[in-house]
Amino acid sequence: MVAMRNRDTAFKRAIHALPIGSAVLFQGPFGNFTLHRNTGRPAVFLAGGIGITPFRSMLWQATTVRSPHRLFLFYANRRPEEAAILEELRNVKDINPHCKLIAAVTHPSEGTPDWRGESGHFTTQILKKWLPDLSTPIFYLAGPAGGGTSMRLTLNAAGVSDDENRTEEFAGY
């Protein structure tokens, strides 16, 4: 599956200009942004916007193989309407009891007035609300450039070493 935000960039204009049915050559994925092997350590996914895409794959893989990993997905967007696959993620707990979604909107006044999730960016206080012991999990961060750096600094301030997190940042999307 390919997912992208519909923004006005040169890449997206080129994609939109292609006729339906056009052949496209993709390369990748590359790297090793995969779930750790030690099932005794929870995985904490910190996704900003379209950074949800690698975590969707990881969640479904863990669900398919019935992994005993405890999975916490922190997913932030400006408004609920901008959250890709939010309804799918809300329902994953029904088939994977080891998975917990913590969704947040960073601009709650701009979106749905009946929002019931977290509000604002993920802070140490919000992380500790859901994860009292931040020394146990492996943290995974994905999102636009700058978001990963910001979240890594938040984790460092909470006492989480860079050795305990894996980051996937992307730009120019």
So what's the pLDDT on residue 171?
A: 63
Amino acid letter, residue 24: V
122 or 149, which is more confident: 122
- Closest C-alpha among 132, 142, 154 to residue 54: 142
Domain range summary for the chain, segments of one domain joined by +: 48-167
Q: How far apart are CA 148 and CA 62, in angstroms?
A: 23
Amino acid letter, residue 10: A
Q: Which helix (H) or strand (E) holds 92?
A: helix 86-92
- Closest C-alpha among 126, 75, 85, 81 to residue 108: 81
Residue 121 pLDDT class (50, 70, 90 cuts): confident
So what's the pLDDT on residue 173?
A: 54
pLDDT (tens digit, 9 = 90+) per residue, 137-172? 999 998 877 777 888 888 999 999 999 999 887 665
Q: pTM, whole model, 2 decimals? A: 0.85
- Closest C-alpha among 153, 158, 160, 156 to residue 136: 160
Q: Which fold has domain 48-167?
A: Rossmann fold (3.40.50)
